[in-house]
Structure 1
């Protein structure tokens, strides 16, 4: 006897086959397609409805609101049962307690509340202990944010890391990969990720490649310089051997429309070369980020609160307005 029998649904099974009418059984938490009209404790008539596997939200910041009721509801109500979090260079780990205020301003685009346990998330293993105690409505896999790694070691320093600092970032990243992180993400329009040069990202990506992990990148530019940004992502994959995913690929600004023909050809050529690269894309024409992304990164070298303080100066606002415009 089945636990659940879903009858007469239009089944899309995820294999690429066309939709077909059929029944699905659930027994002991397992799905079976061969029900043969078995009896069931609970029968659902899905006539006129689509039955399909849960969707994967491949670009999520769900780690910032992990376990909160609205976060769970907004996913499962769309049929999302798996999300890949820690995107765009920002993750909730690894934390350095003495820099907690800097972490919280970095993460403020995605949340307004921070768990009391956050100062203890000095490693990914410790963060997972917290995550396993939180009620979840979907599966979740984590990327470690490059910005969080850099913040842990260098704060908002706008320079190359020393050899010792790079090794510290590698050590933190390796701990994350050893404990099951999917890979590393970068947010190269956001500070402090924006301060990293390509060489730094290649060296860190080599660590990720050791575990066949993923490098997911919010590129340096998604408008007038998007072509060079795609080239950088490809070069990181070429030199490190890491799998690359270009996040939410787009071309912003009407004067730049059409550049996607060039960027997509670059990706296709890279695949033909043997580089493992893919991209994802929004299913809509809007996008969202925090307003301070419009401000040049050299204003953030002391962190976001210090930058906000500078904005009180009329002369700095005037100078900033000119820099944003040009």
Structure 2
């Protein structure tokens, strides 16, 4: 009898320990352990664990009794936020290859498309097709200046009239309402090369009113580099919006 009581007490003890452990432990969908974390602030790498629930990081640190549905051992590896690639043309092939694995394998989780003045139009149609097919990384789009100009003027080699400028402004506003994050130019390419600075400023001003930014493949990257850079900066100043110079480089002998 005494032996049975001891067995019951022992089993009860283990049962209570199990209940206590279950109640005090936290459950996560994913735990990434022992990685060197780059938190995106510029701070030094630090070794810790990352706890994820419902697709979001909920805690960083060392948690006792943490239980993960899935656990990834990142020992000796760096765990970093997904990279944002500000200059891609991925939208040209993303409908054919929606996984876009070449970007994901480089750690890029957000791509910006519609650069160099060329973009899908209307943007909402492209977004609908993308949502229907699915896509691996996140994708943001700019509206292309060349694309807008072609809608109104084709590839004519001349300065836009006031009426044509108004039509282009309407299309830029439509595109911003459609989901564009800003406007890009390809002033080295046709028909953007036929535009003057005033045209770009007037269109960029519409973007500014919608909280967007201006990305530019400048007119020149060789002999006229300084002048082209000044133009890009002045467009930002006059239109009152941020400027991103795409693949900023100097071409030619020093």
TM-score > 0.5, shorter chain as reference: yes
Q: How far apart in 2 are the matches of 1:207 and 1:69?
A: 33
Q: Quick check: 126-135 or 209-218, which moved more? A: 126-135
1:172-191 paired onto structure 2 within 5 Å: 172-191=171-190
Note if contact 2:99-2:135 (Cα within 8 Å) is conserved in structure 1.
no
Report the Cα offset of residue 145 of structure 1.
Answer: 0.4
Report the Cα offset of residue 57 of structure 1.
Answer: 0.5
How many residues align? The count is 226
Structure 1 or 2: more strand by fraction: 2
Note if contact 2:48-2:61 (Cα within 8 Å) is conserved in structure 1.
no
TM-score, scaled to structure 2: 0.85
| Structure 1 equivalent of residue 60 of structure 2 | 33
Report the Cα offset of residue 127 of structure 1.
Answer: 2.9
Cα distance per residue 1:254-279 (max 9 Å; x no partner): 23xxxxxxxxxxxxxxxxxxxxxxxx
1:192-271 paired onto structure 2 within 5 Å: 192-255=191-254
Q: How far apart in 2 are the matches of 1:74 and 1:86?
A: 18
Report the Cα offset of residue 35 of structure 1.
Answer: 5.1
| Structure 1 equivalent of residue 81 of structure 2 | 53
**Structure 1: where are the runs of 5+ without partners?**
94-122, 256-326
**Structure 2: where are the runs of 5+ without partners?**
1-26
Taking only aligned residues, the RMSD between alpha carbons, in angstroms, comes to 1.4
Residue 146 of structure 1 pairs with residue 173 of structure 2? no
Q: How far apart in 1 are the matches of 2:125 and 2:80?
A: 35
Report the Cα offset of residue 36 of structure 1.
Answer: 0.1
Cα distance per residue 1:140-159 (max 9 Å; x no partner): 11000000001111111000
Q: How far apart in 2 are the matches of 1:232 and 1:156?
A: 22
Report the Cα offset of residue 71 of structure 1.
Answer: 6.5
Note if contact 1:65-1:71 (Cα within 8 Å) is conserved in structure 2.
no
Q: How far apart in 1 are the matches of 2:113 and 2:99?
A: 12
| Structure 2 equivalent of residue 15 of structure 1 | 41
